[in-house]
Amino acid sequence: MTGNPMPDKSSTAIKMLSDLVHENMEREDFDVEEFAALAGVSRSELYRRIKKLTGKSVTHFIRDIRLEESLKLLQHTDWTASEVGYKVGFNSPTYFSKCFKDKFGITPGEADSGLTPIRGSLYDDHLKYTKPKSSGFWTPRRIWLLFILAFLSGFGYWYYVASSNNNKNSGKSSPTDIKAVAMTPLKNLTGNESYDYLGFSVANEIISEISNLNIIEKVVPMSSVMPYMEKGYTHPEIAKSLALSHLFTGIMELSGDQLKFSVHLVDTENNHQLWSRVFTFPLQQYSGVFEMQQNIAKDVVALMGLKAPELSKKEQPTKSDKAYNLYMKSLHQAQIKSNTGLKNSNELLKQAIAEDPGFVNAYYQLAANWFVSGTIWSYTNQDLAWRQAQKYLYRVLDLDSLNEKAIRLLKTGEFYYELNVNPKSQKYPQINDYKLEDSYYDYTLKLGLYDKAADVLASSESAISMRPNIEALMALISYFTGDTQKALQLLEDSYWLYTHDHDYLREAAKAYYFLSEYEKMELAVRTYYDTFETRPAIMHWLSALTAKQTGDQYTINKELDWLRAAYHTGDSGSPAWFLALYHAHMDDHEKALDWLERSYAAREVEMTWLAQEPDLAPLGNEPRYQALLDSMNFPESARKHVKNSFLD
């Protein structure tokens, strides 16, 4: 039978989805929800399909189609770059230019003048439609060539592994050469997804031990690496984004009845592999994950030229190997930073506790998961989040009354969830004397202790745990101290490194707003919306402010409606607070005060900004505003906007 070959299902699906985007090309308000409705699927299903077919998020898929069309229009019409941007759905010329250059390596103006693009988008290989297979492709000649290549590849891999083991110390690197290092999870090539967490667990142990030695200037934690892994970044892209001099990578394989871990150290400047080591363990030892990862970490430290005796001595935090394995699986799920990830993590932690009811670390992680789920990311209802966090923190203190992490989180929770700056507890008096301002920059900043907040944030522990968000937070602190030039410089130096970190983008957009850099704020907000599916209340507020600058009343109304609906349904994320800020920005003081009082009644966590929030300065001498400060026990020294206060 002759004729054109039938297109495969994936190319047909991509074409159908692409056609929907083309049909709505000129509409900037064409969003994921409408796209899903037109495709006849849910948002989550649309995301899964497009991710599987193209390797992209939905917003990235839409944006790249718009950009491909814009290139054609610039090359084949007389329209200006600005006209083309609007034609393909970009209402902001600045944002259109930025996206175009990111994808093609040249500006729209350069493309308009005839310059040829020098590169495609990050995921261009996934975008190309699958081509129909030719019936004559598998000729005997090609089969023979494939056989030779397979043989050479297999021989090369055998030689590489053998060389790695026989010369494991030949490429030892000097610690002084390593300025900034991170590690990606070991890639699971076992064919068994249940081992995924093990690649994370081993990598986390290695990087933690290197960090504990305090020899290398910058050791990036797994929590800062995982967001890039989730988005499919390549190793060179991760190294560039995190400004690394070196990167650990590796794989995990099954070989008969043995579990093999290959760890490599790469110099990111030239992508040269400095050394490689293979660690092999009998599969029956798999249950002893703690000891296994400790042994690997010890050898890696030695290979780096660091002194092995300095390696911290640890004991497994539970006597149950099964409980520990479940605990490490839960940490892997929590790193995904999504509602689903936290739910999976919580279920695994409960299973770990069932194995060992005295497992302190598991109780603490459960509390931490619940704690974060009710804050700015609004994964669950605030009241539920705080009640659950309290329950597990109390359990930790019952088992270990001096557990500093639990004491700190409990006092932090009193501040965020109870809106009490100086809480007192009779049942757990150990929290009363704990100085949160000495260890938590956010609390210190909201008390107006700006210099101290900078010191706390710059401390080694905070700096490591907050990367890359620390750069945006330092910019915010510089703004509050009055050093706007430093704030802008910090953002300029860091912005393009961290545009795919949601925490960084959120804080950077807010900092640009405070600094009246509205075009840069708009760019940060749009980048966030195009990159991430999660939409916390703060991003709806920032989007409304962006729309205010461009006169986009449709978007303003849409975002304010979303915030009002979120408040009325009791969502977390502090929607009433952000409505108050918007009305304060519009100089509608009565509405601002009304929403502040609603925010306090709902115990919204963003109310902790009450004494320092710049947009609330005009309300400083309003009795209703001061009454709220009194209710939260803010000291006189923290009341920045109140005239004749301690600071005046």
- Tens digits of residue pLDDT in 111-132: 887 777 765 433 333 333 333 3
Confidence (pLDDT) at 52: 78
The answer to the question of residue 484 being in a domain is: no
| Average pLDDT of span 397-412 | 94
- State the angle between helix axes of 58-76 and 518-531 in degrees (0 to 180), rounded to the nearest 10: 120
Q: Which amino acid is at 492?
A: E
Confidence (pLDDT) at 378: 64
Residue 141 pLDDT greater than 70, yes or no: no
> Based on the domain organization, do 303 and 330 belong to the same domain?
no
Q: Quote the CA–CA distance of 343 and 625 in Å, as a whole number.
A: 38
The answer to the question of residue 358 being in a domain is: yes
Residue 502: helix, strand or coil by DSSP?
A: helix
User: For residue range 43-65, what is the model confidence (pLDDT) as tens digits?
Assistant: 767 877 887 788 787 888 888 89
Confidence (pLDDT) at 309: 47
> Based on the domain organization, do 306 and 373 belong to the same domain?
no
Residue 183: helix, strand or coil by DSSP?
A: strand
User: What is the CATH classification number for the domain harbouring 262?
Assistant: 3.40.50.10070
User: Helical H runs in 55-181?
Assistant: 58-76, 81-87, 93-104, 108-112, 124-127, 140-166
User: What is the CATH classification number for the domain harbouring 395?
Assistant: 1.25.40.10
Domain-ending residue, one of 434, 449, 474: 434
The answer to the question of residue 619 being in a domain is: yes
Residue 468 pLDDT greater than 50, yes or no: yes
| Average pLDDT of span 164-174 | 45
Element (H, E) at 182: strand 180-183
Residue for token pair 């209402």: 91
Residue 31 pLDDT greater than 60, yes or no: yes
CA distances from 529 to 10, 100, 223, 230, 431 (A): 27, 16, 22, 17, 39
The answer to the question of residue 626 being in a domain is: yes
Confidence (pLDDT) at 285: 60
| Average pLDDT of span 359-371 | 96
Residue 165 pLDDT greater than 70, yes or no: no
Q: How many domains does the chain have?
A: 4
Query: Which has more pLDDT, 211 or 403?
Result: 403
Confidence (pLDDT) at 295: 87
Poorest-pLDDT segment among 77-86, 109-118, 192-201, 255-264: 109-118
Question: What range does the domain containing 73 cover?
Answer: 9-127
User: For residue range 263-303, what is the model confidence (pLDDT) as tens digits?
Assistant: 999 999 888 888 889 998 887 765 668 888 888 988 888 88
The answer to the question of residue 603 being in a domain is: yes
Residue 546 pLDDT greater than 70, yes or no: yes
Residue 174 pLDDT greater than 70, yes or no: no
Residue 67 pLDDT greater than 50, yes or no: yes
> Based on the domain organization, do 281 and 360 belong to the same domain?
no
> Based on the domain organization, do 183 and 291 belong to the same domain?
yes
User: For residue range 86-99, what is the model confidence (pLDDT) as tens digits?
Assistant: 788 886 777 788 78
Residue 536 pLDDT greater than 50, yes or no: yes
Residue 2 pLDDT greater than 50, yes or no: no
> Based on the domain organization, do 277 and 332 belong to the same domain?
no
Q: Percentage of the chain with pLDDT > 70?
A: 83
> Based on the domain organization, do 398 and 363 belong to the same domain?
yes
Confidence (pLDDT) at 313: 59
Domain-ending residue, one of 400, 434, 468: 434
Domain-ending residue, one of 78, 102, 127: 127
The answer to the question of residue 88 being in a domain is: yes
The answer to the question of residue 596 being in a domain is: yes
CB burial class (10 A; 0-12, 13-18, 19+) of residue 308? exposed
Confidence (pLDDT) at 287: 60
Poorest-pLDDT segment among 140-154, 222-236, 487-501, 606-620: 140-154
Q: Quote the CA–CA distance of 389 and 387 in Å, as a whole number.
A: 6
Confidence tier at 164 by pLDDT (50, 70, 90): very low
**For all residues of the chain together, what is the average pLDDT?**
83
449 alpha-carbon distance from chain centroid = 28
Q: Which amino acid is at 140?
A: P
User: Helical H runs in 167-221?
Assistant: 196-212
Confidence tier at 470 by pLDDT (50, 70, 90): confident
Confidence (pLDDT) at 157: 44
Q: What pTM, to 2 d.p., does this model score?
A: 0.63
The answer to the question of residue 182 being in a domain is: yes
| Average pLDDT of span 440-454 | 94
> Based on the domain organization, do 351 and 305 belong to the same domain?
no
User: Helical H runs in 167-232?
Assistant: 196-212, 222-230
> Based on the domain organization, do 213 and 112 belong to the same domain?
no
394 and 428 Cβ atoms separated by less than 8 Å: yes
> Based on the domain organization, do 194 and 70 belong to the same domain?
no
> Based on the domain organization, do 397 and 419 belong to the same domain?
yes
> Based on the domain organization, do 193 and 292 belong to the same domain?
yes
Residue 148 pLDDT greater than 70, yes or no: no
Q: Percentage of the chain with pLDDT > 90?
A: 41
> Based on the domain organization, do 58 and 114 belong to the same domain?
yes
Largest CA distance in the chain: 91
Residue 636 pLDDT greater than 50, yes or no: yes
| Average pLDDT of span 425-445 | 90
